[in-house]
Amino acid sequence: MKRKRLKIFEKAFGVVLFSSSTVTSLTVLFIIIFLFNEGIGLFNSTPVEQKYKFIVSNDNTVKELTSKQLKDIFNYDITNWKQVGGKNDSIILFTINDLSTYFTDDELGANFENLPSKINELIKKQPGILAYLSDKYVPSQLEGHVLPLTKITVKEFVTGKEWYPTSKPAPQFGVLPLILGTLWVSLGAILIALPLGLATAIFMAEVASQRLRNILKPIIELLAGIPSVVYGFFGLVVLVPLIQHLFNLPVGETALAGSIILGIMALPTIITVSEDALRTTPTSLKEASLALGATRWQTITRVTVPYARSGITAASILGIGRAVGETMAVLMVTGNAGVIPHTFLEPVRTIPATIAAELGEAPFGGLHFKALFALGILLFLITFIINTSVELIKTRKKS
């Protein structure tokens, strides 16, 4: 009887464990599918607002335009159809705001009922026209044709240098500045955190007395527990003005500020993981080195650190991983300018900061919204690669 009850209990326990892990795995899977489902949508869309069309005359030989070309046309950087593969004919832009320069109110009628036919006239008269119109003004018997826009490609997305997701009529979804911003800030962070973290780890593992170590260890763990918004606040109030002052800059919100803050945030990971790695160096090797007349410092640089090399590499990659995904603190101190950085003293914008800052304003299901999800995919892939390489380093060390 008792045995049976025990058996039922064990079985129930097994079911609970199994379902917990199933729920967890399914949740992760669901999030990933959701991310990809929303993000991939960007690459089947044309970069034009819904219910709007671009119309050209029937004589126009241009097949399609990219979003970038469209933007240049509207900025008058491109003024001739020749420049986009058409005939030598200057481009005449026409939007609804230009109505009054071509037509009088009488001609259009009280309720714009004549507008479609007038537009047809205009298109016939001006072979170089590029009209940007709401669907409702497009004539049903169109004398010209709709100019399709090139669909957004992955390549364009990743290599595009301009991120203007809300500009009209041609939003730009180039994320290169954001990728580079993320890389700059992360690289800077690791350049700051690795030497500092490694030095601290060596000190804790090899030099400090047990008592000192017992004091240091909790402080470092405390560092890991501070919420990132507090780091951001500290950065904003202390670091940003300091950088502005030191380098005599117009603004202190720079990649450097982000790197320093992220570097500090990555320190606990780097210190703890490298210290553990350094501790795996066998005492017998250190003794062998010392017995041959090596100084303590020579022993550290020639035996202890090389032995812990893969652990230290893993530590720095984990540190980068932390930096790449960090949002709040970076958002607060980097200035969020979506331009390709050339020095550490310029404002930059990272992928997570972009998502956090813009998701609230992006209309649900719109292009901007999808583009932010595509950014999410990119971030997911970067961190995935980082985690995988850490695992690879770990398993390679074991074998």
Q: Which is nearer to other proteins, 111 or 283 (CB)?
A: 283
Q: Which is nearer to other proteins, 204 or 371 (CB)?
A: 204
Question: CB under 8 Å to 228, separation ≥6 — which residues?
Answer: 265, 326, 327, 328, 329
Q: Which of 218, 225, 250, 293 binds other proteins (CB under 8 A)?
A: 293
Of residues 56 through 75, those in contact with other proteins by CB under 8 A are none
Q: Which is nearer to other proteins, 210 or 395 (CB)?
A: 210
Largest pairwise CA distance in the chain: 103
How far is the C-alpha of 170 from the C-alpha of 112, rounded, in Å? 26
For the chain, how many helices (H) and strands (E)? 18, 6
How far is the C-alpha of 242 from the C-alpha of 394, rounded, in Å? 40
Of residues 295 through 354, those in contact with other proteins by CB under 8 A are 295, 298, 302-303, 306-307
Q: How far, in whole angstroms, is CA 332 from its chain's centroid?
A: 15
Q: Does 294 bind other proteins (CB under 8 A)?
A: yes
Q: Does 208 bind other proteins (CB under 8 A)?
A: no
Q: Which is nearer to other proteins, 208 or 328 (CB)?
A: 208
State whether residue 130 is helix, strand or coil: strand
Smallest distance, other proteins to C-beta of residue 207, A = 13
Q: Annotate 203-260 with DSSP letters as a single string.
A: IIIIIS-HHHHHHHHHHHHHHHHS-HHHHHHHIIIIIHHHHHHHHT-S---SHHHHHH
Q: Does 211 bind other proteins (CB under 8 A)?
A: no
Rg (CA), the chain: 30
Cβ–Cβ < 8 Å for 27, 150: no
Q: Which is nearer to other proteins, 249 or 290 (CB)?
A: 290
Smallest distance, other proteins to C-beta of residue 274, A = 18
CB atoms within 10 A of CB 263: 24
Q: Does 288 bind other proteins (CB under 8 A)?
A: yes
Q: Which stretch binds other proteins (CB under 8 A): 102-110, 126-134, 195-203, 291-299?
A: 291-299
Q: Does 393 bind other proteins (CB under 8 A)?
A: no
The site string for other proteins over 258-287 (x = CB under 8 A, - otherwise) reads: ------------------------x-xx-x
Q: Which of 1, 110, 219, 292 binds other proteins (CB under 8 A)?
A: 292
Q: Which is nearer to other proteins, 68 or 286 (CB)?
A: 286
State the number of CA atoms in the 13 A half-sphere of 56 facing the CB.
20
Query: Interface with other proteins by CB under 8 A: which residues?
Result: 282, 284-285, 287-295, 298, 302-303, 306-307
